[in-house]
Structure 1
Amino acid sequence: MAEHRTISAAIVVESDEVSYVLKVDGYSRAKALLKNGECMTSTHFGVGGHDFVVRYYPNGSRKNYPDFISVYLFLEHVDAEDVKAKYTFSVLDLNGEPVPSYSLSSRGYQDFVKKADLKGSAHLRDDCLTIRCDVTIMKETHIDGQSRVPPSDLHRHLRDLLYNRDAADLTFQVGGKIFSAHRCVLAARSSVFKAELLGAMQESSAASPIEICDMEPDVFESLLHFIYTDSVPAVLDVVMASYLLVAADRYNIGRLKLICEENLCNHIDSSMVATSLVLAEQHGFHHLKEACLKFLATPSNLEAMVAKSDGYEHLKSSCPSLLKEVISTILPAELK
């Protein structure tokens, strides 16, 4: 699972146009310590009333890009989809100027810079890599008489409450990691937490950490983040979406279930369809199951899934009756 660390950064200009400079000191050490899929996270910075963070993956964010540096800009906002902005990532040279060949406009890149190109490069000085992220918020034109009241920032205050641990009254232990939280917030957002934390567990949970089994720490951290902010990362990969879907189902958080299930439905391919199908069958995610069966109704997709032996074997051993259902979807009508 992804491990988050902090990188030093500074705001160069603060307005609706911001240049945010990140300095990765100890570039080689970060590359050696962090595996593919693990990242370092910048501090929050504000642009036009919105909060952003940058995540830096020294060995790529996905298993298909281990030879690249990946960078992503995340908008920490409940209504992130309504914010119009332009983004540019640039490697800076020794004079602090953007390197044209390493300047790309997007919220994030899996293949931002090839590590081999940086080896021995002048862009690495004293084992320090400097990246600039330029963010411009596109302003909307207001018609006279239209409300100029800013959007709600309740989610920002609740997020700060979570990460600053102010007035936290209970702790969780997940895979050896301790998380602090607020009983009233969790009870308000999850009927399962409400039953547990305001019921028989109320006295015992105040005395010692509540142990959460069968869940990875970064999944629980993302679950808490959603509970407090009602938002997920702008880039939600299918692996995290799968784990979060199970966690949301476990704690009956309906909106998060819908978000994760929709994410998986929109990213079905032959390498993960078998795993998603088993997940859908075991937890009763009907829309995901329908999407997987529709994908496998095409014979070539079914053949490609079978060729991915791990997923196919998992499906065959976990849900043999489901495999029969899959095969029946592509049989001619006269053979059904």
Structure 2
Amino acid sequence: MAASRTASMCAPEKAQGIHTFDVFGYSLHRGMGVGRRVSSGVFSVGGHDWTIHFYPDGYSERCKDCISVHLFLLSKGAVRASCDLRLVDLTTGVSSSVHKTEPRVFNPNDSSRMAPQEGNFKRRSELEASGYLRDDHLRIECVITVLKEPLLSQTKSAPRIEVPPSDITAHLGKLLEAEKGADVTLSVGGETFAAHKAILAIRSPVFKAEIYGPMSETGMQLICIKDMQPAVFKALLHFIYTDALPSMSDLEGNEHGEMIRHLLVASDRYAMDRLKLICQSILCEGLNVQNVATTLALADQHHCDLLKDACIEFISSATMDGIVATQGFMDLKRDCPAVLVDAFIKMSIIHKS
């Protein structure tokens, strides 16, 4: 069963604005003195008022060889924001970042209201030799991003696209029934079955050897199968195409068990390990006093170690008088004495443990 999946998200709400501050007559502003400024008009971004301060002779004595440019918060109340102070090349119209302040809190009550914190924005000699100053005109550009509280979404189920289970076995089953493209015929007990060589070879190494191996005849169209009942082969062929046993609802009493026994023999013959294991499982679930000895002999003959161990465990916990009285036990004692000896040895080990 697939695990349930839910999802939620948070995304910052932000407002961004760009303000351009043109300073004409740059040379006429020179000589105002350190710490003296001219200011832009007040502009609003994200519901807060801001201004740009321009210090032609520097913000302080430490930066008197530079121009100083600062963004100031004018509104009351702290705000979280970032800014990018840029100079515009008046020849190309391209702006270049000179200072970036990463997202932080601007507080109007202390020095954090100003960005940047230092005053050496641009060396005056570098500015005056650049394309940023043209015809005594300087253009400052400020990009402000105001960040508000993150928006949180409600938890909801993640979208899912349901994928139905594979239906390839249903298609293969229809292919078997329709006999379309069949290229081989199998003759079993006087009945014939149409099939496809490639599917038989893929599912059974024994069929692969018969169809494509060195002993096969080129272009072989008919395979004769001896010592098998047509009903058993039909069930085997159904499993080859669908990986499942056919319905056996029409079989009553011991007929169902007999069909499973024959299928176990067929699965061993054609080296179909999954079918062999399925048959062992079904026979294990159906063990009783009357059939355990017969099933033990069958398991030994066809190298079904799991089923063999299950039979021995059943015998060790059952009443031996009933088992000994069955025909299957007498046949086992007569035909497979070694199996019986091995079983008794294992039972003694089980009882001791």
What is the TM-score of this pair, normalised by structure 1?
0.52
3-state SS in 1 of match to 2:182: coil
Q: How does 1:129-208 map to 2 (within 5 A)?
A: 145-203=159-217, 206-207=220-221
Within the alignment, does 1:295 sit opposite 2:295 as a pair? no
Contact 1:298 1:330 in 2 (8 A): no
Which of 192, 209, 214 is the aligned partner of 2:227?
214
User: Corresponding residue for 1:93?
Assistant: none
User: Corresponding residue for 1:117?
Assistant: none
Within the alignment, does 1:319 sit opposite 2:332 as a pair? no
Change in CA separation of 1:275 and 1:247 when aligned onto 2, cut-off 3 Å: same
Change in CA separation of 1:175 and 1:167 when aligned onto 2, cut-off 3 Å: same
Deviations 1:282-321 (A, max 9, x none): 1111000000000111251x2211122x211221122011
User: Corresponding residue for 2:238?
Assistant: 225
Q: Is the radius of gyration larger for structure 1 or structure 2?
A: 2
Which of 233, 237, 244 is the aligned partner of 2:263?
244
Contact 2:238 2:246 in 1 (8 A): no
Q: Which amino acid aligns with 1:197?
A: I
3-state SS in 2 of match to 1:312: helix
Number of aligned residue pairs: give it: 190
Deviations 1:200-224 (A, max 9, x none): 35436624x2111111111111111
3-state SS in 2 of match to 1:210: strand
State the Cα distance separating 1:238 from its structure 2 match. 2.2
Provide the C-alpha distance between the structure 1 equivalents of 2:351 and 2:171, rounded to a whole number of angstroms: 61
Change in CA separation of 1:332 and 1:155 when aligned onto 2, cut-off 3 Å: closer
3-state SS in 1 of match to 2:193: strand
Contact 2:290 2:328 in 1 (8 A): yes
User: Corresponding residue for 2:153?
Assistant: none
Unaligned runs of 5+ in 1: 1-142
RMSD of aligned C-alpha atoms? 2.5
Provide the C-alpha distance between the structure 2 equivalents of 1:224 and 1:324, rounded to a whole number of angstroms: 37
Change in CA separation of 1:311 and 1:150 when aligned onto 2, cut-off 3 Å: same
Within the alignment, does 1:265 sit opposite 2:284 as a pair? yes
Provide the C-alpha distance between the structure 1 equivalents of 2:283 and 2:164, rounded to a whole number of angstroms: 33
Provide the C-alpha distance between the structure 1 equivalents of 2:349 and 2:299, rounded to a whole number of angstroms: 25
Change in CA separation of 1:295 and 1:166 when aligned onto 2, cut-off 3 Å: same
Provide the C-alpha distance between the structure 1 equivalents of 2:351 and 2:174, rounded to a whole number of angstroms: 61
Change in CA separation of 1:188 and 1:333 when aligned onto 2, cut-off 3 Å: closer
